[in-house]
Structure 1
Amino acid sequence: MDSIGPAMVIIFLIVVYMIPTFTAISNDHRNKAGIFVLNLFLGWSLVGWVAALVWAISKGSDEDGHTRITDNSEHQGVDVYSKIERLSALKEKGALTQEEFDKEKAKLLS
């Protein structure tokens, strides 16, 4: 019974230590493996742990350093229409004028 307490503390510390890796996995980061290696070998130092966490939170980029743009063109049409519906609801409630609605709608459709 007395060994359960120290075991729980060790498990808790391992989970906290691996937060950057878990963050990278949950964000489906492009460099999950690199973040894991950095976290595993340099995470014991506060600088290594913070660097791994910042890297895990940052957006992935391609080899040239450009931010990746995912192709979600199939979802863009649905998103535009839902935004127009929300704008229409705001117009009906009186929160937007007809001019403001037309201007925002034109932006979304262009």
Structure 2
Amino acid sequence: MAYEARRDVFQAIADPTRREIIGLVVKEPQNLNALAGNFNMSRPAISQHVKILTECGLIIIKQKGRERYCEAKLDQLNEVSAWIEQYKQFWEQKLDALESYLTKIQQQQKPTKNARRKK
């Protein structure tokens, strides 16, 4: 039994070509030939990217007549959003603390009115 790595959304969006494919099919569903026409690579290479995106659940393939159309299904990006949100909150807290600290230092360095009069 061959080992097949589980693909996840993070792997899918790590590649700029796959991010561009997602961007294209979000605007409107596209068949594989039309999709491949947007890139300077072979159709099989685009098909491989689409395969990864479908395995991760970011794209679904729908048969319409003889054509297969790629449609965006971005529910899986909620996992990425939740992961990013935790770091966003972390850094916002750190930046808020830094801002408070810098404000405190600036206030301590300002000469008081009485100190200016004595000069």
Normalised to the residue count of structure 1, the TM-score between the two structures is 0.30
| TM-score in terms of structure 2 length | 0.28
Structure with the larger strand share: 2
More helix by share: 1
Q: Which has the higher contact order (CA 8 A, sep 6+)?
A: 2
